Structure 1
Amino acid sequence: MPSSVSPAPRTVLVTGATSGIGWETARLLAGRGDTVILHAPDQASGDQARARLVAAGANASQLRLVVADFARLDEVRAMAARIADQHPVLDVLVNNAALAAPERRTMTTDGNELSLQVNFLAAYLLTHELAGPLSARPGSRVVNVSSSMHRTASISWNDPHRAKRYSRLAAYAQSQLALTIFAREQAPWTSVSVHPGVCDTGLLPLYAHEGDSAVQGAERVVRLCDPATELVPGAYYDRTALSPAAPVALEDRTVRRLCKLADQLVAAK
Protein backbone atom coordinates (compact mmCIF):
# COMPACT_ATOMS: atom_id res chain seq x y z
CA MET A 1 0.00 0.00 0.00
CA PRO A 2 1.27 3.52 -0.72
CA SER A 3 2.49 5.41 2.32
CA SER A 4 0.27 8.17 3.67
CA VAL A 5 3.17 9.79 5.49
CA SER A 6 3.97 13.25 4.17
CA PRO A 7 7.57 13.88 3.13
CA ALA A 8 9.69 15.56 5.77
CA PRO A 9 9.95 19.32 5.24
CA ARG A 10 13.19 20.51 3.76
CA THR A 11 14.96 23.78 3.05
CA VAL A 12 15.09 24.69 -0.62
CA LEU A 13 16.64 27.68 -2.42
CA VAL A 14 15.08 28.71 -5.73
CA THR A 15 16.92 31.32 -7.76
CA GLY A 16 14.97 33.54 -10.10
CA ALA A 17 11.87 32.99 -7.97
CA THR A 18 10.02 36.21 -8.81
CA SER A 19 8.28 35.01 -11.97
CA GLY A 20 7.69 32.18 -14.39
CA ILE A 21 8.95 28.69 -13.62
CA GLY A 22 10.91 29.92 -10.58
CA TRP A 23 7.85 31.43 -8.90
CA GLU A 24 5.70 28.40 -9.66
CA THR A 25 8.44 26.09 -8.38
CA ALA A 26 8.56 28.04 -5.13
CA ARG A 27 4.76 27.86 -4.84
CA LEU A 28 4.68 24.10 -5.35
CA LEU A 29 7.53 23.47 -2.90
CA ALA A 30 5.94 25.70 -0.27
CA GLY A 31 2.76 23.69 -0.73
CA ARG A 32 4.71 20.59 0.27
CA GLY A 33 5.64 22.22 3.56
CA ASP A 34 9.22 23.03 2.64
CA THR A 35 10.98 26.16 3.83
CA VAL A 36 11.57 28.00 0.56
CA ILE A 37 14.29 30.60 0.17
CA LEU A 38 13.24 32.92 -2.63
CA HIS A 39 15.96 34.62 -4.60
CA ALA A 40 15.08 37.94 -6.22
CA PRO A 41 17.26 40.34 -8.21
CA ASP A 42 15.99 43.29 -6.16
CA GLN A 43 13.97 43.95 -3.01
CA ALA A 44 10.84 45.26 -4.74
CA SER A 45 10.33 42.27 -7.02
CA GLY A 46 11.13 39.95 -4.13
CA ASP A 47 8.55 41.52 -1.84
CA GLN A 48 5.97 41.34 -4.61
CA ALA A 49 6.73 37.68 -5.34
CA ARG A 50 6.50 36.78 -1.66
CA ALA A 51 3.16 38.60 -1.31
CA ARG A 52 1.81 36.76 -4.36
CA LEU A 53 2.88 33.43 -2.89
CA VAL A 54 1.11 34.17 0.37
CA ALA A 55 -2.00 35.25 -1.55
CA ALA A 56 -1.79 31.92 -3.44
CA GLY A 57 -1.87 30.01 -0.15
CA ALA A 58 1.77 29.71 0.91
CA ASN A 59 2.50 29.91 4.62
CA ALA A 60 4.39 33.18 5.13
CA SER A 61 6.45 31.65 7.94
CA GLN A 62 7.94 29.14 5.46
CA LEU A 63 9.18 31.80 3.03
CA ARG A 64 12.54 33.54 3.22
CA LEU A 65 13.65 36.25 0.82
CA VAL A 66 17.21 36.86 -0.34
CA VAL A 67 18.29 39.49 -2.83
CA ALA A 68 21.21 39.55 -5.26
CA ASP A 69 21.75 40.95 -8.72
CA PHE A 70 23.43 38.07 -10.55
CA ALA A 71 25.09 40.59 -12.85
CA ARG A 72 27.26 41.41 -9.81
CA LEU A 73 29.25 38.50 -8.43
CA ASP A 74 29.97 40.31 -5.17
CA GLU A 75 26.21 40.27 -4.50
CA VAL A 76 26.11 36.52 -5.23
CA ARG A 77 28.88 35.96 -2.68
CA ALA A 78 27.15 38.13 -0.08
CA MET A 79 23.84 36.34 -0.60
CA ALA A 80 25.48 32.94 -0.24
CA ALA A 81 27.14 34.04 3.01
CA ARG A 82 23.78 35.17 4.42
CA ILE A 83 22.11 31.92 3.44
CA ALA A 84 24.90 29.79 4.91
CA ASP A 85 24.69 31.77 8.15
CA GLN A 86 20.92 31.47 8.49
CA HIS A 87 20.46 28.00 6.99
CA PRO A 88 23.33 25.66 7.89
CA VAL A 89 21.44 22.85 6.14
CA LEU A 90 20.28 23.24 2.54
CA ASP A 91 18.54 20.24 1.03
CA VAL A 92 17.90 21.49 -2.49
CA LEU A 93 19.29 24.26 -4.68
CA VAL A 94 17.35 25.05 -7.85
CA ASN A 95 19.55 27.08 -10.20
CA ASN A 96 16.73 28.59 -12.22
CA ALA A 97 17.62 32.27 -12.70
CA ALA A 98 18.14 33.11 -16.35
CA LEU A 99 17.75 35.88 -18.87
CA ALA A 100 17.73 36.06 -22.63
CA ALA A 101 20.98 37.35 -24.01
CA PRO A 102 20.52 40.94 -25.21
CA GLU A 103 20.59 41.89 -28.87
CA ARG A 104 23.85 43.74 -28.35
CA ARG A 105 26.76 42.14 -26.51
CA THR A 106 26.68 43.42 -22.94
CA MET A 107 29.44 43.06 -20.36
CA THR A 108 29.02 43.02 -16.59
CA THR A 109 31.14 45.02 -14.17
CA ASP A 110 32.90 41.70 -13.43
CA GLY A 111 34.07 41.60 -17.05
CA ASN A 112 31.83 38.76 -18.25
CA GLU A 113 29.25 38.57 -21.04
CA LEU A 114 25.89 39.18 -19.37
CA SER A 115 24.02 35.95 -20.17
CA LEU A 116 27.08 33.80 -19.44
CA GLN A 117 27.35 35.38 -15.99
CA VAL A 118 23.69 35.48 -15.00
CA ASN A 119 22.74 32.10 -16.44
CA PHE A 120 25.85 30.08 -15.59
CA LEU A 121 28.67 31.76 -13.69
CA ALA A 122 26.39 33.02 -10.90
CA ALA A 123 24.96 29.51 -10.49
CA TYR A 124 28.45 28.02 -10.50
CA LEU A 125 29.66 30.47 -7.86
CA LEU A 126 26.53 30.18 -5.71
CA THR A 127 26.64 26.38 -5.71
CA HIS A 128 30.29 26.35 -4.65
CA GLU A 129 29.78 29.04 -2.01
CA LEU A 130 26.95 26.94 -0.51
CA ALA A 131 29.01 23.75 -0.41
CA GLY A 132 28.83 23.67 3.41
CA PRO A 133 25.02 23.75 3.75
CA LEU A 134 24.58 21.45 0.72
CA SER A 135 26.95 18.91 2.29
CA ALA A 136 25.40 19.08 5.76
CA ARG A 137 22.81 16.35 5.25
CA PRO A 138 22.90 13.26 2.99
CA GLY A 139 20.66 13.30 -0.05
CA SER A 140 20.95 16.97 -1.00
CA ARG A 141 20.31 17.92 -4.61
CA VAL A 142 21.22 20.63 -7.10
CA VAL A 143 18.83 21.02 -10.03
CA ASN A 144 20.08 23.18 -12.90
CA VAL A 145 17.20 24.45 -15.03
CA SER A 146 18.77 24.23 -18.46
CA SER A 147 17.45 24.07 -22.00
CA SER A 148 17.27 21.79 -25.01
CA MET A 149 18.98 24.68 -26.81
CA HIS A 150 22.24 23.48 -25.23
CA ARG A 151 22.35 20.91 -28.04
CA THR A 152 22.90 23.69 -30.59
CA ALA A 153 25.74 25.26 -28.62
CA SER A 154 29.47 25.15 -28.28
CA ILE A 155 31.70 26.63 -25.61
CA SER A 156 33.86 29.34 -27.14
CA TRP A 157 36.89 28.44 -25.05
CA ASN A 158 39.19 31.14 -26.41
CA ASP A 159 36.47 33.80 -26.52
CA PRO A 160 33.79 32.91 -23.94
CA HIS A 161 32.46 36.47 -23.97
CA ARG A 162 32.10 36.30 -27.75
CA ALA A 163 33.87 39.57 -28.48
CA LYS A 164 34.81 38.43 -31.99
CA ARG A 165 31.46 37.04 -33.05
CA TYR A 166 28.37 37.70 -30.97
CA SER A 167 24.82 36.52 -31.48
CA ARG A 168 22.22 36.47 -28.75
CA LEU A 169 21.14 32.92 -29.58
CA ALA A 170 24.70 31.59 -29.56
CA ALA A 171 25.46 33.38 -26.27
CA TYR A 172 22.29 32.09 -24.61
CA ALA A 173 22.81 28.55 -25.90
CA GLN A 174 26.42 28.58 -24.65
CA SER A 175 25.21 29.51 -21.16
CA GLN A 176 22.76 26.60 -21.20
CA LEU A 177 25.40 24.16 -22.39
CA ALA A 178 27.69 25.32 -19.60
CA LEU A 179 24.92 24.80 -17.04
CA THR A 180 24.29 21.30 -18.39
CA ILE A 181 27.98 20.40 -18.28
CA PHE A 182 28.27 21.82 -14.75
CA ALA A 183 25.71 19.29 -13.49
CA ARG A 184 28.33 16.60 -14.13
CA GLU A 185 30.94 18.07 -11.78
CA GLN A 186 31.81 15.67 -8.96
CA ALA A 187 30.30 16.87 -5.67
CA PRO A 188 29.03 15.53 -2.32
CA TRP A 189 25.46 16.21 -3.52
CA THR A 190 23.53 14.92 -6.52
CA SER A 191 23.38 17.36 -9.44
CA VAL A 192 21.22 17.10 -12.54
CA SER A 193 20.07 19.41 -15.31
CA VAL A 194 16.60 19.64 -16.79
CA HIS A 195 14.90 21.13 -19.81
CA PRO A 196 11.47 21.90 -18.33
CA GLY A 197 9.90 22.27 -21.76
CA VAL A 198 9.27 25.31 -23.90
CA CYS A 199 7.13 27.31 -21.52
CA ASP A 200 5.21 30.55 -21.61
CA THR A 201 7.74 32.65 -19.72
CA GLY A 202 9.93 35.65 -20.50
CA LEU A 203 12.28 33.33 -22.44
CA LEU A 204 9.54 32.04 -24.77
CA PRO A 205 10.47 34.37 -27.69
CA LEU A 206 13.81 32.57 -27.96
CA TYR A 207 11.99 29.33 -28.75
CA ALA A 208 8.51 29.69 -30.17
CA HIS A 209 5.25 31.64 -30.18
CA GLU A 210 3.52 29.39 -27.69
CA GLY A 211 4.44 26.81 -25.10
CA ASP A 212 3.43 24.90 -22.00
CA SER A 213 2.39 26.81 -18.93
CA ALA A 214 4.96 27.87 -16.35
CA VAL A 215 3.14 25.56 -13.92
CA GLN A 216 3.83 22.56 -16.15
CA GLY A 217 7.49 23.50 -16.36
CA ALA A 218 7.69 23.93 -12.60
CA GLU A 219 6.09 20.53 -11.98
CA ARG A 220 8.93 18.94 -13.97
CA VAL A 221 11.51 20.80 -11.88
CA VAL A 222 9.83 19.96 -8.58
CA ARG A 223 9.69 16.29 -9.53
CA LEU A 224 13.50 16.27 -9.55
CA CYS A 225 13.58 17.98 -6.15
CA ASP A 226 11.44 15.22 -4.62
CA PRO A 227 13.43 12.66 -2.59
CA ALA A 228 11.02 10.02 -3.88
CA THR A 229 12.35 10.59 -7.41
CA GLU A 230 15.52 8.59 -7.94
CA LEU A 231 18.08 10.62 -9.84
CA VAL A 232 20.98 9.61 -12.04
CA PRO A 233 23.87 11.85 -10.89
CA GLY A 234 24.97 14.27 -13.60
CA ALA A 235 22.07 13.33 -15.85
CA TYR A 236 20.09 15.55 -18.19
CA TYR A 237 16.31 15.33 -18.18
CA ASP A 238 14.08 16.49 -21.01
CA ARG A 239 10.87 17.35 -19.17
CA THR A 240 10.28 14.08 -17.27
CA ALA A 241 12.43 11.75 -19.37
CA LEU A 242 16.06 10.87 -18.87
CA SER A 243 17.67 12.05 -22.09
CA PRO A 244 21.17 12.06 -23.60
CA ALA A 245 22.80 15.46 -23.26
CA ALA A 246 24.85 16.91 -26.09
CA PRO A 247 27.88 14.64 -26.64
CA VAL A 248 30.36 17.32 -25.57
CA ALA A 249 28.59 17.55 -22.20
CA LEU A 250 29.38 13.90 -21.54
CA GLU A 251 33.16 14.28 -21.76
CA ASP A 252 34.94 14.31 -18.41
CA ARG A 253 37.71 16.48 -19.82
CA THR A 254 35.12 19.06 -20.87
CA VAL A 255 33.71 19.14 -17.34
CA ARG A 256 37.19 19.78 -15.94
CA ARG A 257 37.97 22.39 -18.58
CA LEU A 258 34.70 24.24 -17.97
CA CYS A 259 35.19 24.31 -14.20
CA LYS A 260 38.72 25.63 -14.65
CA LEU A 261 37.42 28.38 -16.94
CA ALA A 262 34.59 29.22 -14.55
CA ASP A 263 37.02 29.43 -11.61
CA GLN A 264 39.01 32.01 -13.57
CA LEU A 265 35.95 34.02 -14.57
CA VAL A 266 34.41 34.21 -11.09
CA ALA A 267 37.67 35.01 -9.34
CA ALA A 268 37.33 38.25 -7.42
CA LYS A 269 38.80 41.02 -9.57
Structure 2
Amino acid sequence: MTWTADHIPDQHGRTAVVTGANSGLGLVTATALARRGARVVLAVRDTAAGRRAARHIGGDVEVRELDLASLASVREFAAALSADRPVLDLLVNNAGTVLLGPRRTSVDGHELHLATNLLGHFALTGLLLGNLAAARAARVVSLSSITHRNAHLDFADLMVERGYRGSTAYGRSKLATTVFGIELDRRLRATGSPVLSVLAHPGVTRTNLTPRAWSHQGRRGRVIARLGLLATQPVEQGALPQLRAATDPQVHGGQFFGPARFFQTRGPVTEVRASREATDPAVGRRLWTAAEELTGVRCL
Protein backbone atom coordinates (compact mmCIF):
# COMPACT_ATOMS: atom_id res chain seq x y z
CA MET A 1 0.00 0.00 0.00
CA THR A 2 1.28 3.46 -0.91
CA TRP A 3 0.58 5.74 2.04
CA THR A 4 -0.80 9.18 1.11
CA ALA A 5 -2.41 12.09 2.92
CA ASP A 6 -5.77 10.49 2.13
CA HIS A 7 -4.93 7.86 4.74
CA ILE A 8 -4.82 10.40 7.58
CA PRO A 9 -7.67 9.43 9.94
CA ASP A 10 -10.14 11.90 11.40
CA GLN A 11 -8.34 14.32 13.74
CA HIS A 12 -11.33 15.97 15.42
CA GLY A 13 -10.78 16.39 19.14
CA ARG A 14 -6.99 16.38 18.82
CA THR A 15 -4.71 19.34 19.51
CA ALA A 16 -1.42 19.55 17.62
CA VAL A 17 1.57 21.86 17.84
CA VAL A 18 3.69 22.15 14.67
CA THR A 19 6.91 24.14 14.92
CA GLY A 20 8.01 26.12 11.88
CA ALA A 21 4.50 25.83 10.48
CA ASN A 22 4.37 29.00 8.39
CA SER A 23 6.14 27.52 5.35
CA GLY A 24 7.52 24.38 3.74
CA LEU A 25 7.08 21.01 5.43
CA GLY A 26 5.51 22.58 8.50
CA LEU A 27 2.85 24.40 6.50
CA VAL A 28 1.92 21.25 4.58
CA THR A 29 1.79 19.24 7.80
CA ALA A 30 -0.31 21.81 9.66
CA THR A 31 -2.67 22.13 6.69
CA ALA A 32 -3.23 18.39 6.42
CA LEU A 33 -3.91 18.06 10.15
CA ALA A 34 -6.30 21.01 10.23
CA ARG A 35 -8.23 19.77 7.20
CA ARG A 36 -8.77 16.48 9.00
CA GLY A 37 -10.27 18.37 11.93
CA ALA A 38 -7.37 18.91 14.34
CA ARG A 39 -6.93 22.07 16.37
CA VAL A 40 -3.49 23.20 15.21
CA VAL A 41 -1.12 25.60 16.92
CA LEU A 42 1.34 27.17 14.47
CA ALA A 43 4.48 27.70 16.56
CA VAL A 44 6.46 30.22 14.53
CA ARG A 45 9.20 32.80 14.92
CA ASP A 46 7.58 35.19 12.43
CA THR A 47 4.00 35.70 13.63
CA ALA A 48 3.06 37.84 10.60
CA ALA A 49 4.00 34.94 8.32
CA GLY A 50 2.17 32.64 10.71
CA ARG A 51 -1.03 34.67 10.40
CA ARG A 52 -0.79 34.53 6.60
CA ALA A 53 -0.36 30.77 6.83
CA ALA A 54 -3.35 30.48 9.18
CA ARG A 55 -5.56 32.33 6.68
CA HIS A 56 -4.40 29.95 3.96
CA ILE A 57 -5.05 26.86 6.09
CA GLY A 58 -8.43 27.80 7.56
CA GLY A 59 -10.11 25.65 10.17
CA ASP A 60 -9.28 25.66 13.89
CA VAL A 61 -5.81 27.21 13.73
CA GLU A 62 -4.00 29.62 16.02
CA VAL A 63 -0.62 31.32 15.81
CA ARG A 64 1.84 31.53 18.70
CA GLU A 65 5.32 32.98 18.75
CA LEU A 66 8.21 30.58 19.28
CA ASP A 67 11.90 31.16 18.62
CA LEU A 68 13.58 27.81 19.09
CA ALA A 69 17.00 29.47 19.17
CA SER A 70 16.02 31.23 22.41
CA LEU A 71 15.46 29.08 25.48
CA ALA A 72 13.59 31.98 27.11
CA SER A 73 11.17 31.99 24.16
CA VAL A 74 10.73 28.22 24.46
CA ARG A 75 9.87 28.53 28.15
CA GLU A 76 7.44 31.38 27.53
CA PHE A 77 5.69 29.45 24.76
CA ALA A 78 5.42 26.27 26.83
CA ALA A 79 4.09 28.11 29.89
CA ALA A 80 1.43 29.99 27.91
CA LEU A 81 0.38 26.88 25.99
CA SER A 82 0.17 24.78 29.15
CA ALA A 83 -2.09 27.37 30.74
CA ASP A 84 -4.48 27.30 27.78
CA ARG A 85 -4.06 23.74 26.48
CA PRO A 86 -3.33 21.38 29.38
CA VAL A 87 -3.89 18.38 27.09
CA LEU A 88 -1.75 18.06 23.96
CA ASP A 89 -2.13 15.17 21.51
CA LEU A 90 0.67 15.82 19.05
CA LEU A 91 3.95 17.71 18.98
CA VAL A 92 5.65 17.87 15.57
CA ASN A 93 9.22 19.13 16.04
CA ASN A 94 9.46 20.24 12.44
CA ALA A 95 11.30 23.57 12.44
CA GLY A 96 14.93 23.63 11.44
CA THR A 97 17.70 25.75 10.02
CA VAL A 98 20.56 25.13 7.63
CA LEU A 99 23.21 27.82 7.16
CA LEU A 100 26.27 27.20 5.02
CA GLY A 101 27.96 30.54 5.76
CA PRO A 102 30.06 31.63 8.75
CA ARG A 103 29.48 30.13 12.19
CA ARG A 104 26.63 31.74 14.11
CA THR A 105 25.38 31.38 17.66
CA SER A 106 22.03 31.70 19.38
CA VAL A 107 21.16 34.29 22.03
CA ASP A 108 22.15 31.64 24.57
CA GLY A 109 25.60 31.27 23.00
CA HIS A 110 24.99 27.88 21.39
CA GLU A 111 25.96 27.02 17.81
CA LEU A 112 22.87 27.95 15.81
CA HIS A 113 22.17 24.61 14.11
CA LEU A 114 22.36 22.71 17.39
CA ALA A 115 20.37 25.40 19.20
CA THR A 116 17.49 25.39 16.71
CA ASN A 117 17.37 21.81 15.48
CA LEU A 118 18.02 20.03 18.78
CA LEU A 119 18.19 22.10 21.96
CA GLY A 120 15.06 24.18 21.40
CA HIS A 121 13.02 21.09 20.57
CA PHE A 122 14.54 19.12 23.45
CA ALA A 123 13.49 21.85 25.90
CA LEU A 124 10.07 22.26 24.29
CA THR A 125 9.39 18.52 24.47
CA GLY A 126 10.49 18.31 28.09
CA LEU A 127 8.34 21.26 29.11
CA LEU A 128 5.26 19.84 27.33
CA LEU A 129 5.59 16.18 28.33
CA GLY A 130 2.99 16.63 31.07
CA ASN A 131 0.50 17.97 28.54
CA LEU A 132 1.24 15.07 26.21
CA ALA A 133 0.93 12.48 28.99
CA ALA A 134 -2.55 13.86 29.75
CA ALA A 135 -3.77 12.80 26.29
CA ARG A 136 -4.94 9.29 25.43
CA ALA A 137 -2.56 8.55 22.58
CA ALA A 138 -0.08 11.40 22.24
CA ARG A 139 2.94 11.50 19.95
CA VAL A 140 6.15 13.45 19.52
CA VAL A 141 7.51 13.50 15.97
CA SER A 142 11.17 14.45 15.53
CA LEU A 143 12.37 15.53 12.10
CA SER A 144 15.63 13.95 11.02
CA SER A 145 17.55 14.17 7.73
CA ILE A 146 19.42 11.75 5.50
CA THR A 147 22.52 13.81 6.33
CA HIS A 148 22.55 12.26 9.81
CA ARG A 149 23.99 9.08 8.30
CA ASN A 150 27.33 10.71 7.44
CA ALA A 151 27.62 12.72 10.64
CA HIS A 152 29.43 12.02 13.90
CA LEU A 153 28.88 13.66 17.27
CA ASP A 154 32.05 15.06 18.81
CA PHE A 155 31.15 15.48 22.47
CA ALA A 156 34.39 17.37 23.04
CA ASP A 157 33.23 19.95 20.49
CA LEU A 158 29.41 19.85 20.35
CA MET A 159 29.33 23.52 19.36
CA VAL A 160 31.61 22.90 16.35
CA GLU A 161 34.11 25.56 17.35
CA ARG A 162 37.05 23.81 15.68
CA GLY A 163 37.25 23.79 11.89
CA TYR A 164 33.69 24.99 11.44
CA ARG A 165 31.77 24.08 8.29
CA GLY A 166 28.06 24.78 7.98
CA SER A 167 27.33 21.44 6.32
CA THR A 168 29.14 19.59 9.12
CA ALA A 169 27.28 21.51 11.81
CA TYR A 170 23.94 20.86 10.12
CA GLY A 171 24.61 17.13 9.76
CA ARG A 172 25.66 16.85 13.39
CA SER A 173 22.55 18.70 14.54
CA LYS A 174 20.35 16.32 12.57
CA LEU A 175 22.20 13.31 13.96
CA ALA A 176 21.61 14.77 17.42
CA THR A 177 17.92 15.20 16.63
CA THR A 178 17.74 11.57 15.53
CA VAL A 179 19.54 10.39 18.66
CA PHE A 180 17.08 12.44 20.72
CA GLY A 181 14.00 10.91 19.10
CA ILE A 182 15.29 7.38 19.63
CA GLU A 183 16.46 8.00 23.20
CA LEU A 184 13.13 9.66 24.00
CA ASP A 185 11.41 6.47 22.86
CA ARG A 186 13.63 4.39 25.16
CA ARG A 187 12.87 6.59 28.15
CA LEU A 188 9.14 6.78 27.50
CA ARG A 189 8.99 2.98 27.29
CA ALA A 190 11.04 2.59 30.48
CA THR A 191 8.61 4.79 32.43
CA GLY A 192 5.50 3.13 30.97
CA SER A 193 4.39 6.41 29.39
CA PRO A 194 1.59 6.24 26.81
CA VAL A 195 3.35 8.92 24.72
CA LEU A 196 5.03 7.72 21.51
CA SER A 197 8.26 9.12 20.08
CA VAL A 198 8.41 8.67 16.31
CA LEU A 199 10.88 9.95 13.70
CA ALA A 200 10.70 11.01 10.08
CA HIS A 201 12.85 12.58 7.39
CA PRO A 202 11.73 14.22 4.12
CA GLY A 203 14.47 13.02 1.79
CA VAL A 204 15.54 15.78 -0.58
CA THR A 205 12.60 18.13 -0.68
CA ARG A 206 11.89 21.53 -2.24
CA THR A 207 11.62 24.00 0.67
CA ASN A 208 12.79 27.54 1.36
CA LEU A 209 15.73 26.21 3.40
CA THR A 210 17.80 25.63 0.25
CA PRO A 211 17.80 29.27 -0.95
CA ARG A 212 18.45 30.48 2.61
CA ALA A 213 21.36 28.08 3.04
CA TRP A 214 23.17 29.58 0.05
CA SER A 215 22.15 33.21 0.60
CA HIS A 216 25.64 34.14 1.87
CA GLN A 217 27.04 33.41 -1.62
CA GLY A 218 25.03 36.16 -3.31
CA ARG A 219 24.33 35.61 -7.02
CA ARG A 220 26.40 32.41 -7.12
CA GLY A 221 24.38 31.08 -4.20
CA ARG A 222 21.10 31.84 -5.94
CA VAL A 223 22.26 29.88 -9.00
CA ILE A 224 23.37 26.92 -6.87
CA ALA A 225 20.05 26.97 -5.00
CA ARG A 226 18.05 26.96 -8.25
CA LEU A 227 20.06 24.05 -9.62
CA GLY A 228 19.62 22.20 -6.34
CA LEU A 229 15.86 22.64 -6.46
CA LEU A 230 15.74 20.74 -9.76
CA ALA A 231 16.82 17.56 -7.92
CA THR A 232 14.21 17.80 -5.19
CA GLN A 233 10.74 16.39 -4.73
CA PRO A 234 7.67 18.58 -4.04
CA VAL A 235 7.13 19.62 -0.45
CA GLU A 236 3.75 17.87 -0.40
CA GLN A 237 5.56 14.57 -1.01
CA GLY A 238 8.35 15.38 1.43
CA ALA A 239 5.88 15.99 4.26
CA LEU A 240 4.28 12.55 4.00
CA PRO A 241 6.81 10.73 6.26
CA GLN A 242 6.14 13.09 9.16
CA LEU A 243 2.40 13.02 8.54
CA ARG A 244 2.44 9.24 8.67
CA ALA A 245 4.55 9.33 11.83
CA ALA A 246 2.03 11.74 13.33
CA THR A 247 -1.24 10.06 12.37
CA ASP A 248 -1.00 6.44 11.23
CA PRO A 249 -2.85 4.36 13.87
CA GLN A 250 -0.49 1.42 13.26
CA VAL A 251 2.67 3.36 14.17
CA HIS A 252 4.56 2.40 17.32
CA GLY A 253 7.24 4.21 19.30
CA GLY A 254 10.71 4.31 17.81
CA GLN A 255 9.67 3.88 14.18
CA PHE A 256 11.40 6.02 11.58
CA PHE A 257 9.78 6.98 8.24
CA GLY A 258 11.28 8.39 5.06
CA PRO A 259 11.15 8.13 1.25
CA ALA A 260 11.61 4.69 -0.27
CA ARG A 261 13.55 5.41 -3.47
CA PHE A 262 16.90 6.69 -4.73
CA PHE A 263 18.77 6.20 -1.46
CA GLN A 264 15.85 7.65 0.52
CA THR A 265 15.92 10.96 -1.34
CA ARG A 266 12.38 10.75 -2.73
CA GLY A 267 9.41 8.50 -3.38
CA PRO A 268 6.63 6.90 -1.35
CA VAL A 269 6.81 6.59 2.42
CA THR A 270 8.44 3.58 3.99
CA GLU A 271 9.99 2.64 7.31
CA VAL A 272 13.73 3.38 7.29
CA ARG A 273 16.68 2.74 9.58
CA ALA A 274 18.75 5.26 11.49
CA SER A 275 22.54 5.11 11.49
CA ARG A 276 24.39 2.89 13.95
CA GLU A 277 25.55 5.89 15.97
CA ALA A 278 22.00 7.25 16.19
CA THR A 279 20.74 4.02 17.72
CA ASP A 280 23.63 3.53 20.17
CA PRO A 281 22.18 3.72 23.73
CA ALA A 282 25.48 5.05 25.09
CA VAL A 283 25.37 7.94 22.62
CA GLY A 284 21.74 8.54 23.55
CA ARG A 285 22.52 8.77 27.26
CA ARG A 286 25.49 11.04 26.71
CA LEU A 287 23.59 13.43 24.44
CA TRP A 288 20.63 13.48 26.83
CA THR A 289 22.86 14.54 29.72
CA ALA A 290 24.49 17.23 27.60
CA ALA A 291 21.13 18.56 26.39
CA GLU A 292 19.77 18.76 29.94
CA GLU A 293 22.85 20.69 31.04
CA LEU A 294 22.74 23.07 28.06
CA THR A 295 19.00 23.79 28.31
CA GLY A 296 18.39 23.52 32.04
CA VAL A 297 15.36 21.34 31.27
CA ARG A 298 14.97 17.85 32.67
CA CYS A 299 13.26 15.77 30.03
CA LEU A 300 12.36 12.43 31.69
Fold similarity call, TM over 0.5: yes
| Alpha-carbon contact 2:11-2:38 (below 8 Å) kept | no
For 1:237 and 1:80, locate their aligned partners in 2 and report how far apart those are by CA, in whole Å. 27
1:93 aligns with 91
Corresponding residue for residue 196 of structure 1: 202
The number of residue pairs the alignment matches comes to: 257
Deviation, structure 1 residue 50: 1.3
- The offset of 1:49, in angstroms, is 1.6
Contact 1:40 1:67 in 2 (8 A): yes
State the secondary structure of the residue aligned to 1:110: coil
TM-score, scaled relative to structure 2 = 0.81
Partner of residue 40, structure 2: 36
Shift of residue 227, structure 1, vs aligned partner = 4.5
Q: TM-score, normalised by structure 1?
A: 0.90
Distance 1:236 1:136, change over 3 A: same
Give yes or no for contact 2:199–2:242 (8 Å, CA) kept in 1. Answer: no
Distance 2:245 2:287 in 1: 24
Cα separation, partners in 2 of 1:104 and 1:90, compared to 1, 3 Å:
same
Question: What residue is the counterpart of 1:10 in the other structure?
Answer: 14
Equivalent residue, structure 2, for 1:126: 124
Cα shift at 1:236 = 2.2
Please give the alpha-carbon distance, in whole angstroms, between the structure 2 residues aligned to 1:118 and 1:255: 19
Deviations 1:47-90 (A, max 9, x none): 2221222xxxx22xx11111022221100110011111111111
Give the Cα–Cα distance (whole angstroms) in 2 for the partners of residues 156 and 12 of structure 1: 34
Equivalent of 1:138, from 117, 123, 136?
136
Paired letter, 1:212: Q
Say which SS state the counterpart of residue 294 (structure 2) adopts. helix
The correspondence of residues 57-68 of structure 1 with structure 2, limited to 5 A, is 58-59=58-59, 62-68=60-66
Q: Deviations over 1:111-144 (max 9, x none)?
A: 1000110111101000000011110023211111
2:246 is matched with 225
Contact kept? 1:141, 1:190, Cα under 8 Å: yes
Q: 1:32 to 1:267 in 2, by over 3 A?
A: same
Whether 2:271 is the aligned partner of 1:242: answer yes
Question: Are the equivalent residues in 1 in contact too, given 2:199–2:256 (CA < 8 A)?
Answer: yes
Quote the residue 2:262 is aligned against.
none
Paired residues for 1:25-174 under 5 Å = 25-53=29-57, 58-59=58-59, 62-174=60-172
Q: Which runs of 5+ in 2 are unaligned?
A: 1-8, 214-224, 260-268
Pairwise CA distance, 1:6: 4.2
In the aligned structure 1, how far is the partner of 2:210 from the partner of 2:51?
Answer: 25
Correspondence for 2:218: none
Aligned residues: CA RMSD: 1.8
Output the amino acid matched with 1:254: V
Structure 2 residue identity aligned to 1:223:
R
**SS class of match (2:72):** helix
SS of alignment partner, residue 248 of structure 1? coil
8 Å Cα contact 1:121/1:262 also seen in 2: yes
